[in-house]
Structures are given as C-alpha cells and as structure tokens.
Amino acid sequence: MSELGKATRLNRILAGRTRRVLTVAVDHMINYPEKFPLELRRMASTLEQVIAGDPDAVTMNKGPALRLMAPYAGRVPLIIQSMALRPHEPSFADTATVEETLGLGADAIAVAMFVYGETELDYLRHLAEVVRCAAPFGLPVIPHIYPLESGDEKHAIVHDPEHVHYAARVGFEMGADVVKVPYTGDVASFRDIVADIPVPVVSAGGPRCDSFGDAVALARDVGETGAAGATMGRNVWGFPDIPKAIRRLKEAINEA
C-alpha cells in the first residue's frame, strides 16, 4: 500500500511527469537571523498571493502550514521542510518529523542539507533515517542538497557541475524520491546531471535575479535541461506581482 501512496503523492507534486513543475518555497524565514525579507515577514498575505498564482507545489515550515494553509487545503501540493541550517554553523535542527508531516496532510517531506564539509556524514545519516521512517507510509522524501566550498572558513554554496553532480548523486544514493540541487548556470552541464540521476531532479532557484526577465530566462533554461522542474522563492515573492510571476515562470519552464 505504501508504494501506491508514494506514487499518488509524487504524481500530484510532479504533475504526473507530463510537464515541468514550479514549486514556490516560503521556508526561508528561520534561516534569516537578520535582514528579514519583507515578504516573509508578511507571510499570510504572501501565501495568499502565492496560492493565487496556482503553483505546482509549495514548500514551507510546519508552523506556517498549521496556522495559514487551512483555507487552501487541497488546492496545491504541500511539501514540509523538516530542517533548519546555515552554511557557517556546524550543526542543524530537524524541525518536523515524518508523522507531523503526514498529520499536516503534506505530500512530501523536504530535508535541507550541505555536502563537502565536516558535517557531511551527519547530514547523510539524517537523510537516510528520514528515508527509512518515511518509507512505510509512502511519504516521498525530497532532499535539498547544497555543495559548499571546501577549506577553512569557506561557506559559500557552489554551482560548478562536479560539485552539483555529487550533490544530486548523494540524494539518489540515500534513497530520495526527488532531488533538489543548485542550478549550474549552464544548460548542457545540468542536462548531463539530470541524465545521470535515475530519480527526478529539480533545480533550486538560487539568489534573487537582477530582473524578472532574468528569472524567466533561468526558468526557461532549466526547462531545456530536462529537469523535473524548479523550486523558486526569492525569484517569485521577491517581485511585486507574485501571481503574475508564478504564471509567467510556469510558462517559461515549459517552453522547451
């Protein structure tokens, strides 16, 4: 029965693999100890605008889901982020369990993590445990895996193909159902990564683009790679007309 449940949830999130999908992420807030984005401070109104744009899924933390998603229940697939972490800190917090995620009616559980660093094995161990706990319930696991620069005091997320390929392979090796990794910035190299990984690969949206036109171009490029889709946050709610941004980005990612 768990396999049917997993297939049902994955088909909802991935639109049955009939097209590329755009997930909107609003799970950033606890990773901003300062300089809070205005749109995330006003979560209720931002979420209302996100839902109005008809995204393919939304990723959020359990508190906002519990308090704010009820009016939109069932309208859009829900992915619960289960981790809080920062590149410059050696530890992480697991903030939502498989049981809590299921209790919220979510379609998947997300696990954010870093590779290339002293804590990589701790992250791998945690992801493997989430996969193990989710399997009996047919709950898909979607790790958000970010490679870091190696070396002392280097904490920046990198986008080069070798590091991103390793990040995606880590997710596959640990039994993930979908893997989200940074975009390499190059269609050909990301296409190679997508082709090598036997589970759906989703591109992270990355830092806020300089203009909405650049965000549209990014979505179009991701679509050309054959990836399952993209997850965007700042490049959706960072622009004034959120519903319009979502609709245009969805069009762009499916133009290929």
The catalytic site residues sit at: 27, 146, 180
The sign of the torsion formed by the CA atoms of 227, 184, 27, 170 equals positive
DSSP symbols for 200-255: -EEEE--SPPSSHHHHHHHHHHHHHTT-SEEEESHHHHTSS-HHHHHHHHHHHHT-
Q: What letter does residue 13 receive in the DSSP assignment?
A: H
CA atoms within 13 A on the CB side of 255: 14
Neighbours of 78 (CB within 10 A): 22
Q: CA 186, CA 160: separation in Å to the nearest integer?
A: 9
236: nearest Cα among 107, 32, 46: 46
Gyration radius from the chain CA atoms: 17
Which amino acid type is present at position 67? R
